[in-house]
């Protein structure tokens, strides 16, 4: 457990978050409700408003037609990191959660993966804490995946720990397993509707975190049979179950929009729709599953394909656009102009300052804040140009991932592989590698410009490495425990020499303002 001290910043936050500040804020603005819908592994191309011709998504299309559709919305490539960045407002380099939990790793690989945080601490969960301080009723339902402890686990946050993380209540688990039936889509939607109905007379925030479209993908049988009759295959790319799951999820969004209409809450509610990472275009077998050499001498083999992310390259887990660019829709009647498409690049860390701004709540401790307030963009304006960053110093060969970091500035995107990498044919290579792409001219990231535009690559690489050092976070280096005979072996057995995570120096994550409920 990290030790946190009440610094001047955290003391200021506690004072600024007190009842006087909240009441003053409430006198000045009418605070809208906030419904934040986060889906799992839903690729950029899955809604019909993003080009899907295989499934109609009228509810998502309605949000787009009545609000704003972002073309360049970014998250991290996997589940835990995006959820942590959303709720903390911090990059993975700062909050320490760049790796899916619980612990697994590739400890004998050429590059040493830095230690990562295995539990989100209650005091890090700043978004619901701050909205609660602003007078909001706060609730969540669905996938948690930020602790493996008495507080909760992959499937859900436990009700007894809800207040520690800033939530008044959490939805109970659904029937059976979240991997069966419709993956609890109807159950979680019912819970969200119940929360909205009970809190309609006060401002509320609900974080609806769906399990779909994550593997194992399931959907109602009748919908699956309909897509099968239309010719969709039983398994593989664009299979009937996957298409049915997209439609069923969209139907659940429609139910929520209809409930807001019924309760006359639509004009007073901000609806945000976002996916936690790109969809599974292709997943790969670990070498050990194929009984293949563990030295990287054999290319990775395909395990499964689900939905084509083209024109984006690759999918979930990848540093390429298919892994980090996702659908994002925002409706806020009277504030967000209807039917607008925004090409402004935005990052998941932006949602904390944006939602707090919408709620009229001052953003605390800017020194620990990585995002920017997007309300000028939502209202049809602009924000100053800036660079976006990703810190992904991990191995996960399911997605061909090796330790890397990314920067996007303007149209250019640079990927820095710290010591090894996989090519487009799934072959493994040793050595540092820099890739540079112009996303405006080459959205599919097919033409590496690092050699033809060396000065652009040099400047962006320096800016990326300087940013990592400024956090400060560890730049991966050669692994003193490298063993070529088992170089790419993944294990869940943590080696004795694996060091525990240490928060960045100067980490000033404040304690939650809950004197009756100290952090566990």
* Mean pLDDT, residues 287-307: 97
Percent of the chain scored above 90 by pLDDT? Answer: 89
Quickly state the pLDDT bin for 509 (edges 50, 70, 90): low
How sure is the predictor about 365, in pLDDT bands with cuts at 50, 70 and 90?
Answer: low
Average the pLDDT over 437-464 and give the result.
Answer: 98
Residue with more model confidence, 508 or 445: 445
Q: pLDDT class for 363, splitting at 50, 70, 90?
A: confident
pLDDT in tens, 472-481: 999 999 999 9
Element (H, E) at 273: strand 269-275
35-54: pLDDT as tens digits: 999 999 999 999 999 999 99
- Cα 202 from chain centroid (whole Å): 28
Q: What angle do CA 73, 77, 89 make, to 5 degrees?
A: 60
State the pLDDT at residue 505: 67
pLDDT for 76: 98
Residue 29 reports pLDDT greater than 80: no
Task: Provide the pLDDT for residue 362.
Answer: 83
The pLDDT value recorded for residue 440 is: 98
Task: List all residues 6 or more positions away from 115 whose beta carbon is below 8 Å from its beta carbon.
Answer: 498, 499, 500, 501, 502
**Owner of token pair 């049988």:** 221
Query: pTM for this one?
Result: 0.92
d(CA 325, CA 339): 20
Residues 244-290 pLDDT 10s:
999 999 999 999 999 999 999 999 999 999 999 999 999 999 999 99
pLDDT of residue 366: 59
pLDDT at position 182 over 50: yes
Is the pLDDT assigned to residue 18 strictly greater than 50? no
Residue 511 has pLDDT above 90, yes or no: no
pLDDT at position 504: 83
- Across 83-97, 351-365, 441-455, 500-514, least confident range: 500-514
Asked whether residue 13 carries a pLDDT value surpassing 60, the answer given is no
Sign of the dihedral through C-alpha 55, 59, 65, 70: negative
Q: How confident is the model at residue 30 (pLDDT cuts 50, 70, 90)?
A: confident
The whole-number average pLDDT for the span 397-423 is: 98
Q: How far apart are CA 396 and CA 318, in angstroms?
A: 9
Distance CA 462, CA 516 (A): 46
Better pLDDT: 30 or 449: 449
Which residue did the predictor score with more confidence, 10 or 73? Answer: 73
How many CB atoms lie under 10 A from the CB of residue 253?
26
Domains annotated for the chain, with CATH where assigned, are 31-386 (3.40.720.10)
Mean pLDDT, rounded, of the chain: 91
């Amino acid at each position: 457990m990290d030790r946190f001290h009440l610094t001047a910043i955290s003391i200021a936050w506690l004072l600024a978050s007190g009842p006087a500040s909240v009441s003053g804020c409430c006198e000045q603005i009418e605070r809208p409700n906030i419904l934040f819908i986060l889906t799992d592994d839903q690729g950029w191309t899955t809604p019909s408003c993003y080009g899907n011709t295989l499934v109609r998504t009228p509810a998502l299309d309605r949000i787009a037609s009545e609000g704003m559709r972002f073309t360049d919305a970014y998250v991290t490539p996997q589940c835990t990191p995006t959820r942590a960045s959303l709720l903390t407002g911090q990059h993975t380099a700062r909050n320490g959660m760049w790796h899916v939990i619980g612990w697994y790793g590739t400890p004998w690989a050429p590059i040493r993966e830095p230690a990562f945080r295995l539990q989100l601490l209650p005091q890090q969960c700043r978004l619901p804490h701050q909205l609660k301080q602003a007078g909001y009723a706060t609730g969540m339902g669905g996938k948690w995946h930020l602790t493996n402890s008495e507080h909760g686990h992959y499937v859900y946050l436990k009700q007894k720990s809800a207040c520690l993380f800033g939530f008044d209540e959490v939805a109970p688990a659904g029937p059976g397993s979240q991997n069966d039936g419709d993956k609890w889509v109807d159950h979680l939607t019912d819970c969200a509707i119940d929360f909205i109905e009970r809190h309609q007379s006060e401002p509320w925030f609900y974080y609806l975190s769906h399990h779909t479209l994550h593997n194992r993908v399931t959907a109602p049988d009748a919908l699956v049979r309909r897509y099968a009759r239309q010719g969709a295959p039983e398994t593989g790319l664009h299979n009937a179950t996957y298409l049915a799951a997209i439609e069923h999820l969209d139907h659940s969004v429609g139910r929520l929009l209809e409930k807001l209409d019924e309760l006359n809450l639509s004009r007073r509610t901000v609806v945000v729709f976002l996916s936690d990472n790109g969809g599974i275009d292709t997943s790969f077998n670990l070498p050990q599953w194929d009984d293949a050499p563990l030295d990287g001498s054999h290319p990775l083999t395909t395990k499964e394909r689900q939905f084509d992310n083209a024109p984006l390259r690759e999918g979930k887990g990848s540093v390429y656009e298919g892994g980090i660019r996702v659908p994002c829709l925002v409706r806020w009647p009277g504030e967000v102009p209807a039917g607008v498409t925004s090409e402004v690049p935005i990052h998941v860390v932006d949602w904390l300052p944006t939602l707090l701004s919408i709620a009229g709540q001052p953003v605390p401790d800017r020194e620990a804040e990585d995002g920017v307030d997007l309300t000028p963009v939502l209202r049809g304006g602009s924000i100053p140009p800036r660079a976006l960053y990703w810190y992904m110093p991990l191995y996960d060969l399911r997605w061909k991932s090796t330790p890397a970091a990314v920067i996007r500035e303007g149209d250019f995107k640079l990927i820095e592989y710290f010591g090894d990498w996989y090519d487009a044919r799934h072959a493994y290579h040793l050595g540092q590698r820099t890739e540079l792409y112009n996303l405006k001219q080459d959205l599919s990231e097919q033409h590496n410009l690092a050699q033809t535009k060396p000065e652009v690559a040099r400047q962006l690489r320096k800016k990326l490495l300087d940013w990592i050092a400024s956090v400060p976070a560890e730049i991966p280096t050669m692994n003193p425990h490298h063993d070529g005979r088992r170089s790419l072996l993944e294990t869940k057995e943590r080696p004795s020499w694996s060091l525990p995570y240490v928060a960045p120096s100067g980490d000033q994550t404040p304690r939650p303002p809950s004197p009756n409920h100290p952090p566990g």
